[in-house]
Structure 1
Amino acid sequence: MAKIRALIGWRPVSSGSIEGEMTSKPLQKPMASMQFDGTTIAGRAMDSIRSADTTSVERVTIWSSASCVDSDLWEMVRQPDDVFMDLRLLGVTENALVNTDQFWFLLVRDEGGMPSAICCAWLTSIQGTLLADNSRVVRCLKLASRIVPALNHHPVLFCGMPVSAGQSNLRIRPGASVEDVVERLNAAMEWIASRQAARFIAWKEFAHDEQHIVSALRNIGYLVADSLPMNEYLNPAASFDQFLLEHHKKKRWDIRKTRKSLTDRIRLHVTSQPDDVRQLYSDDVHQLYYAVLRRSEHRLEELPADFFRELSAQFGRDFISCFLMEDERVIAFGNILIAGSTAYVLYVGIDYRLNAEYSLYFNMMYSLMQESLKLNVQCVSWGQTVDEFKRSKLCCTQSSRTVCLKGTVSWCRWLLSAAGPHLFPTRRIEPAASARTATQSPVPRAA
C-alpha cells in the first residue's frame, strides 16, 4: 500500500497555515513576484501597459478566514445583492465546516492598490465520480477504488463554496483584465494546492455570461466540462393561484390534489424569527435534512444543524424557514434565502415515513413556491437536481453551468485526460416544459 501511495503521490491534507515561503516547485514557469499576505511567491510576468479601460493586476492577498477579511476592500468588488459573496454567509459556511474543510478568501489588487477581484477557495475531499456517467470506464474506476480508495477520493481545491445556487464565487471588477486576474488567482490557487496536497484544482460554476472567464481558464490549461444544469422559475406569477393558472387543467388538478393530501392535522408554519427557528430546528429535525441528503444522487457538502440556526440569526427576515407540522412535531422543512429580486430555495428535510401519506416532498416544494411568490421576486432559484419535477410542476427553465479543472500531479492530469468525458459527461439542457406535455415527475431526491 505504501508503494501504491508513493506512486500516486498520496499525502494527507495538511491543516497548516499559509504563512511562510512556498517550498514546492511552482506548477507554472518562473514568473514575476506576487505578494500573498506578506509572502512572496512566483507569479506570471504581467504586461506593464495599461489602457483607460483595463488595469493590470499586481497583487493577491489571501485571508485564511472570513473573519480576517478586510470588509471595506471586499465590498468594493461585491455587489450589494450578491448574497453568495456576503461575508456573513461565507463566515457561517466556514464555521459550519471548520472541523473537516479549509477555506481561504482572496483579493486581487491592481498596480494602484485598488481591488480588482475577489474569490473564495475551499479545500475538501470528494468522490471523483460524483458527476460521472455509468460507462465501463467509470465502473472500472469505482471497482479499482475498492482496493485503492485514493483512486476515487481526492482532496480538491475549489474556487467556489459548498453552499451555492449554481453560481461561481469569483467576482471581477468592471474594467479589470480578466486574463490578468485569472493568471494571478491561478498562481495563488496552485500555491495553496501545493501546500495542502490537493490533487485537483476546480473552478465552479460558471453561467453563460461568464464564458470569458472560462476561456481564460481554458487558455492556461484547464479542462472545461459541464456541471449540472440550473433550474429557475423566471418572471414568476404574482401569486400561487396565478402560478396554478400557468398549468394545464389536469396538472392544476394534480397539484391541488397533492396539497389536499395534507389533512387538518398538518399545518404550515412560516417564520423568519431567529429565536423561533432555533427552537423549532432541533437536532431531531436536522435528521430530516440527512434523510434527504442520503437519497441525493449528487452529494457535495454535509452541513451541521448550527449552520441553519446561524444563517437565520445572521440574515433575519431575509432567511425564511417553512415547517410542515403534525400537531407540534416538525415532519418536513425547507428554507429560502432572499437577495434582491431573487428567492433562493436552499435545502429541504423530509420525514420519509410519512411521505407517501402526505406527499411531504411535493407539498414542501409547493409551500416554498407559495412563500417565494409572496415576496414579489423576479426569479425563484430551485437548484440543480430533480430536474423533471421542477420543469414540469414548478415551471422552471434550465441554463447550463460550467466547471474548469486540472490535476496538480501527473497521474491526476492523465486521469482527467483519459476519463474526463466520462467523469464529466455533456449535459443536455432541456427546453422549458409545456404544461400540456410534461411527463410525470420523478422520485424526489434533494432540493
Structure 2
Amino acid sequence: MRRERGAAPRPGEPPPARSPYRVEIADTVDAVPPEVWRELAPADDPLWSQGVFAAMERGRLGPEGYRYLLLRRGDEVVAVLPLCLFPGLRLDYVVGPRERRLLRPLRAVCPGLLRVPMLFCGHLLGQGHIAAARPLPPEAVRLLVSAAGDVADWSGLGTVVFKDFGDAELALLRPELARAGYFVTRSLPDTELRLGYDSFEAYVRALPAKPRRNARSKLRKFAAWPGARVEIVEDFAPLLPDVLALYEQVMDRADQTLDRLDASFLTALAGSAEPRRALVAVFEDDRLVAFLLCLFRGTGATGARIGLDYRIAHEARLYHAVHYAAIRLAIESGCTHIRFAQTAYTPKVELGCGLVPQSYALTHRRPLPRALLRALLPRALDTALAEALGAHADLLPASVAAPPSAPEKRTSHAPS
C-alpha cells in the first residue's frame, strides 16, 4: 500500500502555498534505498540499522504490521518515520505487576476489554526518532504528524503514541504535536554508559570506590565458578534454540512484555548484512547459561536483549558477567558509548550508566477518550516510573521530571 498526502489547510485558514514536501506511505523498510537509510538514520544507534527493521518485519514481535512515512522533497526522501500497528494491544502486557494483578479478574471475564487498538510512531525496540539528516521545518513535521493520524484512521487505531522520544528531538516536534492534540508524559529512561577508556581495566579503575570493589568481587566470583567461561560469538545462529530458552526465562519474570523476540526475528537478524552484531555468551562447560545480544553502529553499541539461566544466575554472577564482557567488547571496538535496556536500574547505575530521559507523546482520535487519557494516564505512568527507578529517580534532570502537557485542542481531522 502506498498513499501520498500534501499539506491540508485547517478549517478557517486560507489555503497554504504549495508545499515542497509530500508524504508517501510504504509497507516495508526495503522501500528506502540502503544508502538513503544510512544517511538519514542515527549514525551511532545500532537499533536504527535497516537490518533491524527488516528483521522486525520478518518476526512476530507483537505488531500486526509496519508502515513507514517517507517524507519527500521533490523526488528525494529526506526523512522516515516508522510506524507499528497494534489492532489489539493487550494492556496486561504493558502495565506493571501491580496493575496486572488488578486486571486479572477482568481478563478472565471479558478479555476483549483489555485490548486497545494503538499505533506506535518511532521504534518498537529502541529510542524514538524521525530519521532525518538535519532538523525538519515545522511544515514538514506537521505533514508527518498528520500522516500518522491518517494511518491510524485508515487502520482503525484510536490511540497514537510517539514512543520514547528524547528531549532534544521532542522539543522540535512538540509545537506540531500540541497543535494536533497530543499531550506529553514521561516514559522509562534509557541507560547509557559513556566510554572513552583505553581498556576495560581503566574503566574499572575509574568507577567510584564501592562499585569498583563490587565489580572486582563479582568478576572473581564468576571466574571461580566451575566451568564458567565467556565467548564472543558472531555467528550465533546455531545457538538460537538455547538463546530463546534463556530469553524466555527472563521474559517470564519481566514486568512488561510488549516486544517479545522470537526465532524468526533472531534468525533474520543473524543473517542480515547490518548491523554488526555479537553474542556475549557465557558457558558452563558446554552449556549456554547466559547471553547478551550486542549490536554496533558507528561509535555506538547496544546491549539489546539478555538471557539468564536462573538456576545459577545469582551465585555465578551471570548478569554482571555478560555486562562486563559487553563493556570490554565495546571499549575494544572503539565505541564512545553503550546503551542498555529500560530495566534493572540499580545494577546499571552501579556499572556507571547515566539515565537518558525519554517521553511519550499521546493522543486519541476521538475527543472523549483523549480527555480520559490526558486525565488518567500521566499519573499512572508517573507511579510506574517512580517504582521502576526507586532511589535513582533523582538522577533524572529536574526539567524532565514533569514535562508540561499541551492544552487540549481538537484536531481538524479527528472523527467525532
Q: TM-score range by the shorter chain?
A: 0.7 to 0.9
Higher relative contact order (CA 8 A, sep 6+): 2
CA distance in 2, matches of 1:311, 1:404: 29
CA distance in 1, matches of 2:61, 2:254: 23
Structure 1 counterpart SS, 2:382:
coil
Quick one: which of 93, 111, 122 aligns to 2:56? 93
Compute the displacement of 1:99 (Å): 8.3
CA distance in 2, matches of 1:268, 1:176: 45
Is the deviation greater in 222-231 or in 299-308?
299-308
CA offsets, 1:271-302, max 9 Å, x none?
Answer: 22x3xx112x2323311111111212232201
Pairing 1:102–2:65 present: yes
Compute the displacement of 1:323 (Å): 0.8
CA distance in 2, matches of 1:358, 1:231: 24
C-alpha root-mean-square deviation of aligned residues, in Å? 3.1
Q: Which has the higher helix share?
A: 2
Where do 5+ consecutive residues of structure 1 fail to align? 1-17, 20-35, 50-55, 434-447
Pairing 1:379–2:341 present: no
State the partner residue of 2:163: 204
Pairing 1:284–2:242 present: yes
Pairing 1:342–2:311 present: no
Structure 1 counterpart SS, 2:252:
helix
- Decide whether the 8 Å contact of 2:94 with 2:257 is kept in 1: no
Pairing 1:416–2:384 present: no
CA offsets, 1:361-405, max 9 Å, x none?
Answer: 2222222222222222111112211112111x2101112101111
1:44-443 equivalent positions in 2, closer than 5 A: 44=9, 47-48=16-17, 56-71=19-34, 74-75=37-38, 77-78=40-41, 80-81=43-44, 83-97=46-60, 101-110=64-73, 112-124=74-86, 125-128=88-91, 144=106, 146-164=108-126, 167-174=127-134, 176-177=136-137, 179-210=138-169, 211-262=171-222, 263-272=225-234, 274=235, 277-279=236-238, 281-315=239-273, 318-391=276-349, 393-410=350-367, 412-425=369-382, 427=385, 430=393
State the partner residue of 1:445: none
- Decide whether the 8 Å contact of 1:66 with 1:105 is kept in 2: yes
CA distance in 2, matches of 1:96, 1:339: 22
Structure 1 counterpart SS, 2:256:
coil
CA offsets, 1:27-60, max 9 Å, x none?
Answer: xxxxxxxxx25xx6994467328xxxxxx45311
- Decide whether the 8 Å contact of 1:289 with 1:350 is kept in 2: yes
Residues 301 and 397 of structure 1: is their aligned pair in 2 closer, same or farther, counting only changes over 3 Å?
Answer: same
Structure 1 counterpart SS, 2:327:
helix
Q: Percent identity at matched positions?
A: 23
Compute the displacement of 1:61 (Å): 0.7
- Decide whether the 8 Å contact of 2:226 with 2:284 is kept in 1: no
Structure 2 counterpart SS, 1:47:
coil
CA distance in 2, matches of 1:182, 1:142: 40
- Decide whether the 8 Å contact of 2:49 with 2:275 is kept in 1: no
Where do 5+ consecutive residues of structure 2 fail to align? 387-391, 397-416
